[in-house]
Structure 1
Amino acid sequence: MDWYLLLAAILLPALSAALCFILKNQKVRIAVVSISTLLLFAVAGGFIALIMNSPEGKLVFQMDEHVLEIVGWLIKGFDFLLLCYIGYFGIKHKKAIVLALTVLQFIPWVLFEIFGVFGKVHEPAQAFVIDHLSLIMIMLISIIGPIVTFFGLGYMKEHEHHLHLKVSRQPRFFMILFIFLGAMNALVMTDNLSWMYFFWEVTTLCSFLLISHDGTEIAVKNGLRALWLNSVGGVAFIIAILMVNTSLGTLSIQAISNSGMQGAFAGMMPVALGLLCIAGFTKSAQFPFQSWLLGAMVAPTPVSALLHSSTMVKAGVYLIIRIAPAFAGTRLGQLVAVAGGFTFVAASAIAISQSNAKKVLAYSTIANLGLIICCAGIGTRISLAAAVLLMIFHAVSKGLLFLCVGTIEMGIGSRDIEDMQGLFKKMPFTTVITVIGQVSMLLPPFGVLITKWMAIETAIHLPLVLVFIILGSAFTIVFWSKWIGIILTMSYKPKYYMEKLSFSIKAALSVLIALVMAASIGIVPLYNQFVKPQITAFNIADKEMLSGTGMGLWLEKVNQVVYGGFSSIIFFGVILLLIVAIPIIINRIKPARLKPPYLCGSNVDDDLRGLEFVSPADKVEKVVVRNYYMASVFGENKLTFWSNLSAGAIIIIMLGVVIGL
């Protein structure tokens, strides 16, 4: 059963991709996507059952030596073709930097993998290893990913209608989405660093193809930016592979994770770990590599949701969390924490100045990924638990919010936050789900806030990192509160319209909001069943630990003395009470008691938002109500350059430190 599930996780998306591309009929494509969604759910469920019943808490897949060699050469062949294909795009679009970075990967890859110039390639005997961290990633990829893809069925039809396309490009679009999901599943399951590099580059290529999908000049430009910036990480990755192979005598990712505890944090290993962290920074769009993720917002909404939430950006933080035990408690770990914390505060600050909803979500994504990396760098059991939990909560909530923004944009023709005033009267279903998703990123007892609290608790011994986390959290409150305030602005007029949404859109939003609620309400069993076993397996020596008992999470000393905690269930009881009580109170308010505001003239009757009036010149005027965006302080043009410069300096210092070790 384990081998069947492994093959299904990788090959089922590949088969679905081929069917979507070959079979052009819309109804057939709907059937393929729907069935594939259910099957991927089943794959995730199957892995959960196997891991939960495994005495060792993980699944190890070993291949016969000859089979392993054949598969290895197949991957090398595909890797060769992949690098050539990426280089082709550099030539086609006359982007010299893409071609140059591809060559910088290609030369050491050929010398190492094909000719063995840098020594024998030490392939690990265990081709795939699935532990609780891999399982969590499989759940995010194989549950949220298919939901986003299913959402795309209804969305892409409307999207292409607005583009006035004569020939649909949906077959190609859904093909790339499924290839993307299959590559991500393989990436988090393999124990071979060289194989991970191949799947890593597949996601890089897919991101370029998805971002540039619409074929517009700006889409292609941003797709190429994603391609070359992620190729920077590819160069760091391939050099790290050479160093790991030489230092450890194996390319096993599990061995890398355990190397610090085994006294192997010496020689070239610190540099190799630093380079792997840089590869993770590029994939997770940390400053100064963040521009590719911001450019990805030109892509269709399903692409933004996949890249920004459950899949590609999570590959970077997954790699850093995976190898975090190797540098826990070292200077490298502290600098990784500083780099992540700086990105958290810088991205949160710039988000304050944005009125484009997708940009707010993009900067929020960059910020939260920075916080995850910061927690991984701190390297304690509690901080690593916070990193994994935040990875889960962020994936679910942010995937939901990107789909909500795409739905709102289809409904009102704008993604500007200021145009969302009175949205509840136009799109009540979408508005309620959007606000709950936003609140889940902001307020207790939802999981994102709990993980921020845990991060603050564990950063006490790193004052600079602590300041970054506190400032970033404060900035987060500002931009989320502004947006929620605009959406919940209600006019005095009692009438409203119920939006008409396709089944795929309604189903995707409903399932994701249910997952948001379930994950936070069930944070204790989520931690105990999925996160705690992985933190225990990391075997990090620490004086503090996190326990999930009763109705919440508690911070404990080794002698089980509790010094902090969060009883989340009680908070949820209060919230559920308010959710029920507020609509009842509002419905009891009689329309006659609502008095229209004076707007310097008679109010316009057919104005749903209640912001229009007739001026003395019998001209319809509109009242302008806007948030403060403080662009003179937090604007992109004010902060981006200096933030990139500072982040670049931190990375240079990090490399200098590891080279000097």
Structure 2
Amino acid sequence: MEPKLLAVAILLPAVSAVLCYLFRKAPIRNVIVVVTALIMFAVAGGFFKLLFDNGGKITIELHDFAAMATELAIKILDLLLFIYIMYIGVKLKKPLIVGLTFLQLIPVLIFEFIVRPHELEQAFVIDYLSLILILLVSIIGPIITIFAIGYMKEHEHHLHLKKSRQHRFFLILFVFLGAMNGLVMTNNIMWLYFFWEVTTLCSFLLISHDGNEQSIKNATRALIINMVGGVAFILGIIAIYQVKNTLAIDKIASVESLADVGTILPLGLGLLCFAGFTKSAQFPFQSWLLGAMVAPTPVSAMLHSSTMVKAGVYLIVRLAPAYYGTNLAKLIAVVGGFTFVAGSAIAISQSNGKRVLAYSTIANLGLIVCCAGLGNPVALGAAILLIIFHAVSKGLLFLCVGTIEQGIGSRDIEDMQGLMKRMPFTAVITVIGMISMLLPPFGVLISKWLTIEAAVDKSPIVLILVVLGSAFTVVFWAKWIGIVLTMSYKAKMVGEKLSISIRSALSILFVGVLACSIGIAPLYNNLILPQLQMFQIGGNSVILGINGGLDIKSAWLNGGTMGGFGIVYFFIVVLLVMFLVPVFMRRAKPETMKTPYLCGENTTDTRGIDFMSPGDKIDQVIVHNYYLEGFFGEKNLTLWVNLIAGAIILIMFGVVI
């Protein structure tokens, strides 16, 4: 049963990708997308059941012909991948891409055909951490593909395309999903490297999908930065193999590796974490993720928020037991903490909704990296919780911003005033999505609290960074929420028209946001706590899922409670407010709302703050938030934070060398 389920998880998206490319009629392709999504949901459920039936670990061994065929297929595909990327470099006249390809290809050929590493029989090992990523990829990913059915139709309409390119778009989306499933399930680090590079290529192809100059330029930047990480990845594998003499990730990423700290193992681990930094857009590598925002919204939601960037933090968290408590770990925590502060600070100065989400994504990925560096059970618990909550909430928010952009023709948050009257369904879901990133009892805030608790006795520097970053996040989220909830002077609430695919995707992810936070205690007890026990890392404190929420029990307090959140009780109040606000808004009588006098005849726009000035000219009353660009502006901060982040990474390598 396990090998069949594994094959479906990796190969089904590839087959569906080919079918979407071959059948170019929209109705047929839409059926393929929906059926594939339903099967992937079932596959995720199948892995969930199998893992618990097998005591929390599934090991899939390949023998004889199956092992040889799989190994040969991956080597051939890896070679073809490099050739295709080289072709892209030549086509775009980018010698740097060609050079980076050779810097990966030559070590791969030497390692595979001269060193000839010992191959693994246990090719795939799935534990709770792998299962969590499988659930995110195989549930959120297909939901986003369903959303893309309706979104891409409108997207191409706005681009005035004469010939649809959706067949190519869905091809790459499904290839990406299959690669991500392979990445988180394989136990062979060379195979993980192959899937890693597949996601890099998919990212380039999806960012450049629209084919204009800006999208190609930004896609090229993404390819170059991720290939720099790829070079570090293969060099890290070679360094680790010299010490551990194995490609097995479970043996490399174990506390037993701490005995090899005096060797070049820390350098190899540092190189792998560096690759994770590039994939997860840590400063100073954040520019590729920001540039990726030019891509269609499903790309932003899937690759650059909820799934692809999680590959980087997955690798760093997976390796955490191997570097726990070392100088490398301390500097990884600083890199992540600094990214959290820098990303949150620059987000304050952004009015473009997608860029706010992008910087918020970078910041939260930094917080996950920070937790992995802290490395104790509380911090790692917070890291895995953040992976889950951030993926669900940010996936929802990216889809909301894409829907709003198609509805009002803008992604500027200042243009979202009065949105509650014009797009009530999307507005309510958007606000709750933002609240889930900001306030209790939602999981993101609880994860930040856990991070602060973990940093108290580990690193004062990291503690300050996390507290500052958390304060900055309040500013940009509260500002955006305030705009969306600003009262419109237009009397009637307009019923928005959304395609069934868009409405369904938003609704499912909205329910997911609520369900994950309400069920945080069983989620932690059944998926995260067993994984922390498998990591075998000791600590003075431990998280327990009790009283409908999370508590921290401390050995320093003789098993007493350091603090906690009773999630269920908070949610009773939140749910009441959620349902009562729209009711009161609908009952508001038009005569109770008086438009302001604007020195002229008011127009009938959505916000009601435009007026006819002399000469029959429409003038707009400009009322907007402070963005503090003089202090938090991108132009002011980017250079300096990149220099500081680069210096921290150089110090990290200096220490491990």
TM-score computed with the length of structure 1 as normaliser: 0.97
Partner of 2:97: 98
- TM-superposed CA distance for 1:576, in Å, is 1.4
Q: Distance in 2 between matches of 1:509 and 1:523?
A: 21
Going from structure 1 to structure 2, the CA distance change for 1:259 and 1:427 (only over 3 Å counts) comes to same
Q: Is the 8 Å Cα contact of residues 308 and 399 (structure 1) preserved in structure 2?
A: no
- TM-superposed CA distance for 1:596, in Å, is 2.3
Q: Is the 8 Å Cα contact of residues 612 and 620 (structure 1) preserved in structure 2?
A: yes
- Structure 2 counterpart SS, 1:609: coil
Partner of 1:321: 317
Q: Distance in 1 between matches of 2:69 and 2:595?
A: 75
Q: Distance in 2 between matches of 1:92 and 1:18?
A: 24
Q: Distance in 1 between matches of 2:655 and 2:148?
A: 46
- Structure 2 counterpart SS, 1:362: helix
Write the letter of the residue equivalent to 2:247: L
Post-superposition CA distance 1:206-265 (Å, at most 9, x none):
000000011101111111111010000000000011111111010111011115456233
- TM-superposed CA distance for 1:618, in Å, is 5.0
1:614 corresponds to 2:612: yes
- TM-superposed CA distance for 1:590, in Å, is 3.0
Going from structure 1 to structure 2, the CA distance change for 1:261 and 1:80 (only over 3 Å counts) comes to closer
Partner of 1:236: 232
Correspondences of 1:503-582 after superposition (within 5 Å): 503-558=500-555, 559-582=558-581
Write the letter of the residue equivalent to 1:615: S
Q: Distance in 2 between matches of 1:587 and 1:307?
A: 38
Q: Distance in 2 between matches of 1:593 and 1:213?
A: 49
- TM-superposed CA distance for 1:122, in Å, is 2.2
Partner of 2:602: 603
Correspondences of 1:307-346 after superposition (within 5 Å): 307-346=303-342
1:300 corresponds to 2:299: no
Partner of 1:646: 644
Write the letter of the residue equivalent to 1:73: L
- TM-superposed CA distance for 1:293, in Å, is 0.4
- Structure 2 counterpart SS, 1:459: helix
Partner of 2:16: 16
Write the letter of the residue equivalent to 1:311: T
Write the letter of the residue equivalent to 2:121: A
- Structure 1 counterpart SS, 2:316: helix
- TM-superposed CA distance for 1:561, in Å, is 1.5
Cα RMSD after superposing both structures:
1.2
More off after superposition, 287-296 vs 251-260: 251-260
Q: Distance in 2 between matches of 1:552 and 1:259?
A: 30
Partner of 2:656: 658
Q: Is the 8 Å Cα contact of residues 309 and 396 (structure 1) preserved in structure 2?
A: no
Q: Distance in 1 between matches of 2:399 and 2:584?
A: 30
Q: Is the 8 Å Cα contact of residues 397 and 433 (structure 2) preserved in structure 1?
A: yes
Q: Distance in 1 between matches of 2:234 and 2:64?
A: 24
1:248 corresponds to 2:247: no
Write the letter of the residue equivalent to 1:446: F
- Give 1:155's match in structure 2, choosing from 143, 148, 151: 151
Q: Distance in 1 between matches of 2:586 and 2:91?
A: 61
Post-superposition CA distance 1:109-135 (Å, at most 9, x none):
11111222xxx4022221000000000
1:493 corresponds to 2:490: yes
Post-superposition CA distance 1:22-48 (Å, at most 9, x none):
111111100000000000000000000
Q: Is the 8 Å Cα contact of residues 260 and 327 (structure 1) preserved in structure 2?
A: no
Q: Distance in 1 between matches of 2:179 and 2:170?
A: 14
Q: Distance in 1 between matches of 2:258 and 2:490?
A: 69
Q: Distance in 1 between matches of 2:92 and 2:7?
A: 36
1:85 corresponds to 2:84: yes
Write the letter of the residue equivalent to 1:191: N
Q: Is the 8 Å Cα contact of residues 496 and 608 (structure 1) preserved in structure 2?
A: no
Write the letter of the residue equivalent to 2:167: P
Write the letter of the residue equivalent to 1:653: I
Partner of 1:41: 41
Q: Structure 1 regions of 5+ residues with no counterpart?
A: none
- TM-superposed CA distance for 1:65, in Å, is 4.1
Partner of 1:64: 63
Partner of 2:28: 28
More off after superposition, 331-340 vs 120-129: 120-129
Q: Distance in 2 between matches of 1:580 and 1:206?
A: 41
Q: Distance in 2 between matches of 1:447 and 1:262?
A: 32
Partner of 1:54: 54
- Structure 2 counterpart SS, 1:498: coil
Aligned length: 654
Write the letter of the residue equivalent to 1:505: I
Correspondences of 1:163-242 after superposition (within 5 Å): 163-242=159-238
Partner of 1:418: 414
Post-superposition CA distance 1:66-86 (Å, at most 9, x none):
432332122111111111111
Q: Distance in 2 between matches of 1:347 and 1:104?
A: 31
Write the letter of the residue equivalent to 1:281: F
Q: Distance in 2 between matches of 1:580 and 1:414?
A: 28
Post-superposition CA distance 1:570-624 (Å, at most 9, x none):
11111112223333444444332222222233433x2321102233555432111
- TM-superposed CA distance for 1:557, in Å, is 1.7
Post-superposition CA distance 1:78-113 (Å, at most 9, x none):
111111111111111011111111110011111111
1:376 corresponds to 2:372: yes
- Structure 1 counterpart SS, 2:562: strand
Q: Is the 8 Å Cα contact of residues 255 and 536 (structure 2) preserved in structure 1?
A: no
- Give 1:628's match in structure 2, choosing from 610, 626, 633: 626
Identity of aligned residues (%): 61
- Structure 2 counterpart SS, 1:266: coil
Write the letter of the residue equivalent to 2:77: F
Partner of 2:125: 129
Q: Distance in 2 between matches of 1:181 and 1:404?
A: 21
Q: Distance in 2 between matches of 1:542 and 1:259?
A: 13
Q: Distance in 2 between matches of 1:82 and 1:261?
A: 32
Q: Distance in 2 between matches of 1:223 and 1:588?
A: 48
More off after superposition, 292-301 vs 587-596: 587-596
Partner of 1:593: 592
Q: Distance in 2 between matches of 1:401 and 1:112?
A: 43
Correspondences of 1:396-475 after superposition (within 5 Å): 396-460=392-456, 461-475=458-472
- Give 1:478's match in structure 2, choosing from 461, 475, 480: 475
Going from structure 1 to structure 2, the CA distance change for 1:316 and 1:650 (only over 3 Å counts) comes to same
- TM-superposed CA distance for 1:167, in Å, is 1.1
